[in-house]
Amino acid sequence: MSRTQRTTRADGARVRLISGRIREQRQKVVEPLRRGVFLAPATITSIGLLSGFYSAIQSIAGHFELAAVMIMVAFICDGLDGRVARLSRTSSQFGVEYDSLTDVVAFGMAPAILVYTWALRPIGGLGAAVSGLFVVCAALRLARFNVQTASVDKRRFVGLPVPGAAALIAGIALAYSYFEFSSPRTLCSFMVPITLALGGLMISRVPYPSFKVVDMHKRAQIELMIGVLVVAAFLVAMPQLTVFALASAFVLSGPYLMMRGERMTVKVPVLRPVPTEPAKPAPSESDTNRTRALSDPSPGPGEVR
């Protein structure tokens, strides 16, 4: 072997050694970061869950404006956890199920308790039934979303999303507090049909726009950027009215799309039968004896072990 070949082989071994050490150091640095990235979406989802729980507590205590604000905090967390999971490529089935359970509490139970304690309490049992129907429709909407998530157009939601319905109830409560209205009877007669309509829209097949397919890396038009800045300015100046206006516009966007002729076609039915394996016939006596004979290790007559 010549000196040049020995030098080349030594250089190759040195490069492999250095690359191996770099790979080890990268694993030491990347693995904790990866665990933290997986933890980030679950932490944001947990904050949304606790926000919905705290909203229910404040509704029972009579602090309706704070309860509405906590629902909006849960709304923000619901948008952030999915975006963080998609950008970091840490989406998992566990995260999907945990997010659905969180939505039942934050956007089903919390708004229902808010609308009952704030507006529907004067009519007693009927108000409890209306708010309970809202919770049932929210749970059905989330279950249908989990079943049909891979079979519908990603640009559209089938029915009103549960966070949108909760945001409208919170927006109405904030606007009511902003104008300092004091008419419980009028409020009750107004919120009963609104709550029923929101429940019906959630389980309907009305198409709603989805913002999950928006590409954040694309260049935005100047008009869109100006619109976002104007909305941000209104949120700072008049947050109660802006939340109410945005939530109302989103809820009305579904019927508007339907009037334009859009229809949702779903390939997978909600209540499809679960395939079951055919029952195996019971083994006969001859099959049992044959099985025992094959599994018996004892030697027969004339055989030597």
Could you read off the pLDDT of 198-239 as tens digits, one per residue?
Answer: 999 999 989 898 876 555 556 657 777 888 888 889 988 999
**The tokens of 291 are what?**
């099985």
Q: Give domain status of residue 103, yes or no.
A: yes
pLDDT interval class at 301 (50, 70, 90): very low
The domain spanning residue 179 has which CATH number?
1.20.120.1760
Going 144 to 248 to 243 to 166, the CA torsion angle's sign is: negative
Number of domains in the chain: 1
CA pair distance 134, 108, nearest whole angstrom: 7
Assigned domain for 274 exists: no
**Nearest-CA neighbor of 208 among 155, 157, 245, 137?**
157
Is the pTM for the entire model greater than 0.95?
no
Q: CB of 143 within 8 A of CB of 132?
A: no
Query: pLDDT per residue over 142-172, tens digit each?
Result: 988 888 765 555 678 888 999 999 999 999 9
Taking 3-state DSSP, the helix, strand and coil percentages for the chain, each rounded to the nearest 5, stand at 75, 0, 25
The reply to whether 292 falls in a domain is no
Give domain status of residue 287, yes or no. Answer: no
Range of the domain at 62: 23-213+221-259
Looking at residue 33, what is its pLDDT?
47
Residue 293 counted as domain residue: no
Work out the percent of the chain whose per-residue pLDDT is above 70.
68
In a domain, 266, yes or no: no
Residue 176 in domain: yes
What residues does 157 pair with on adjacent strands? 208
Q: Is residue 277 part of a domain?
A: no
Q: Which range is least confidently modeled, 45-54, 181-190, 216-225, 277-286?
A: 277-286
